[in-house]
Structure 1
Amino acid sequence: MSTKNTASKMSLKEMQLAFYEGIFNPHNDTNLSQLSNTICRTDAPLSAEDRIGIYRGSILGGITEALTAIYPVCVKLVGETYFTHMVAGYLTQYASGSPDLGDYGEHLPQYIADFTPAKELFYMPDVAQLEWYWHKAFNAEEAGNAPKISYTLADLGNVTEEQQPSLQFCLTPSAFLMTSDYPVHQIWEVNQDDHQGDQTVNLDDGAVQLVIWRSADYGMRIDLLRDAEYQFLFALDQQKTFGEIAQLTCGEHLNELLPKFIQLGLIAGFNLTN
């Protein structure tokens, strides 16, 4: 049977799945044989398997390079060779669902947490989570383009007293909240290329609550939050109304928290729930 006829009997979806398996699961001999039959032979002294290998090296290398760019501190913590070895399994377990490599890598923090050889670096999954949020914050849409924000802060003057409990303040799209049992913001900071001074981090400094975000002037920030501040921003992130937040512990500090985060730029607008 000719290669052309064999290939013609496969649907496009079947060919795509066979190609994916050929790249990410090369030890499946049956699939490899099937995929080889779809590759046109030339006079070049390369087997179909060798040609698939060329694609594999290019694709896996490109994805690994993208992850290296998104997680530079993790790379520094373990070295590039180890990092490449560590993410090899991640590439086979998590397929990219986007044509943009910048969208790939969301589940790497959890993967690192489950990666047995990396368990000695028990703080590394949280460092990876911070780096992913940094990456997402840097590439987040502008607050003015966010479809989930109906009103700008300038419209607050039009809100009646009866409507105030139904106010639903919205965080800027670049804001990401996280907690960690370790001072991961310090680990991140001392591993920056422009860091000067002491590189010692005391893991006994304890848990932290952070917001990673991009300010209006495009400056990237990692802010350390007090309990009330984190609870307030978390409630906003959960789309709690002003009336609901007033019933929380942080509600005692609303007169301080609301103007502070509006002034900082973390609150970008609001909705009205009724």
Structure 2
Amino acid sequence: MLSDSTLLVRRQAALMTLIFSNDESDTVTDRISQGLKIYQNNLLMTAARAISLKYPVLEQMVSNETIVAFTNQLLKKELPNSGDWADWGGMLPALISESSLADDHAYLSEVARLEWFVHQAARGKVAQLEVETLSNLTESDLGSVSLHLSPTLQIMESHFPVYELWGLHQVPDEEVDEGELYRLLVGNTAPHYYMVFQQDYRARIQTLTAHEYAWFRDVLAGMSVERLLGQHQEIDFVSWIEQAINQQWLVAIK
């Protein structure tokens, strides 16, 4: 038997599907009252507000009107189904990358991806370090031991300086340095690497080198400690473990 919360979520999802139906047939048009159309528009504004809260830098870069247009498109691809608007909107970066804006402004989807990671990290469940598992590093067979990182930790590679763009927009629109914005967007073709994670209940962003990015990529892929040490000899493992504990990246070693 389904729980009351599961039933509620399913009913909410069914209602949202009806409200945002893409069917334009006369039958559906006749069935939906003017009041429901007004409710649909109100929910669109609510959804746009939810997107603005999750993607504030993106909104600064494209305007509120564009956010509403993106939100309307997003509702045709991804309906909220958890009962919490904060859980919804993760498909926006992909939608932007497929839009006409991507031709001349490919960095927008990358900025949105970073903002979604920040949003997830800020809301993520706090994971405590399983201190007793640190002793597993003394095992003779490190081929069966791997590093488990916080579920809030995510890494990304981009050909745009998205962290710098994000930082530049942490001020009101009229205070954004247009000259610096232009400099960041012109000639920055080299890869940039970033990590987003939760520390002390706050989302943090950290830049990574190519070596560090490759290391975290393999750690997140579940590579054993033995293989990690063999393939990433440039990493000071002892110092990294200490940093991983202090920065709250590490959850367990097992």
Provide the TM-score with structure 1 as the length reference.
0.77
Once residues 83 and 177 of structure 1 are traced to their aligned partners in structure 2, the CA distance between those partners, rounded to angstroms, is 25
The C-alpha deviation readout for 1:43-96, integer Å capped at 9, x for no partner, is xxxxx5212112212222211111111111110001111221232111112222
Give the number of the structure with larger relative contact order, counting CA–CA contacts within 8 Å between residues 6 or more apart.
2
Deviation at 1:24, TM superposition (A): 3.4
Deviation at 1:234, TM superposition (A): 1.2
Q: Which amino acid aligns with 1:109?
A: P
Once residues 17 and 183 of structure 1 are traced to their aligned partners in structure 2, the CA distance between those partners, rounded to angstroms, is 40
Q: Which amino acid aligns with 1:77?
A: M
Deviation at 1:159, TM superposition (A): 5.1
Q: What is the 5 A alignment of 1:256-267?
A: 256-267=239-250
Match of 1:167 among 136, 139, 145: 145
Quick one: percent identity of the two aligned structures?
22
Q: For 2:82, what is the secondary structure of its paired residue?
A: coil
CA contact (8 A) 2:94 2:109 kept: yes
Q: 2:198: which partner in 1? A: 214
Is 1:63 aligned to residue 21 of structure 2?
no
Once residues 16 and 137 of structure 2 are traced to their aligned partners in structure 1, the CA distance between those partners, rounded to angstroms, is 57
Deviation at 1:134, TM superposition (A): 0.3
Once residues 17 and 152 of structure 1 are traced to their aligned partners in structure 2, the CA distance between those partners, rounded to angstroms, is 41
Q: 2:164: which partner in 1? A: 186
Is 1:176 aligned to residue 154 of structure 2?
yes
Count of paired positions: 237
Is 1:253 aligned to residue 235 of structure 2?
yes
| Larger CA Rg, structure 1 vs 2 | 1
Q: 1:241: which partner in 2? A: 224
Q: 1:24: which partner in 2? A: 21
Deviation at 1:198, TM superposition (A): 4.7
Deviation at 1:139, TM superposition (A): 0.4
Q: What is the 5 A alignment of 1:1-274?
A: 20-25=17-22, 27-33=24-30, 36=31, 49-144=33-128, 152-157=130-135, 160-193=138-171, 198=177, 200-201=180-181, 202-203=184-185, 204-205=187-188, 206-215=190-199, 217-248=200-231, 250-255=232-237, 256-271=239-254
**What are structure 1's unaligned runs of at least 5 residues?**
1-12, 37-47, 145-150
Would the alpha carbon gap of residues 136 and 22 (structure 1) be closer, same or farther in structure 2, given more than 3 Å must change?
A: closer
CA contact (8 A) 1:143 1:173 kept: yes
Would the alpha carbon gap of residues 30 and 231 (structure 1) be closer, same or farther in structure 2, given more than 3 Å must change?
A: same
Once residues 136 and 216 of structure 2 are traced to their aligned partners in structure 1, the CA distance between those partners, rounded to angstroms, is 24
Once residues 117 and 155 of structure 1 are traced to their aligned partners in structure 2, the CA distance between those partners, rounded to angstroms, is 48
Once residues 207 and 111 of structure 2 are traced to their aligned partners in structure 1, the CA distance between those partners, rounded to angstroms, is 15
CA contact (8 A) 1:180 1:208 kept: yes
Displaced runs of 4+ in structure 1, greater than 4 A?
16-19, 194-199
- Superposition CA RMSD, Å: 2.7
**What are structure 2's unaligned runs of at least 5 residues?**
1-9
Q: Which amino acid aligns with 1:207?
A: P
CA contact (8 A) 2:194 2:205 kept: yes
Q: 2:4: which partner in 1? A: none
Quick check: 262-271 or 123-132, which moved more?
262-271
CA contact (8 A) 1:165 1:244 kept: yes
CA contact (8 A) 2:45 2:68 kept: no
Q: For 1:253, what is the secondary structure of its paired residue?
A: coil
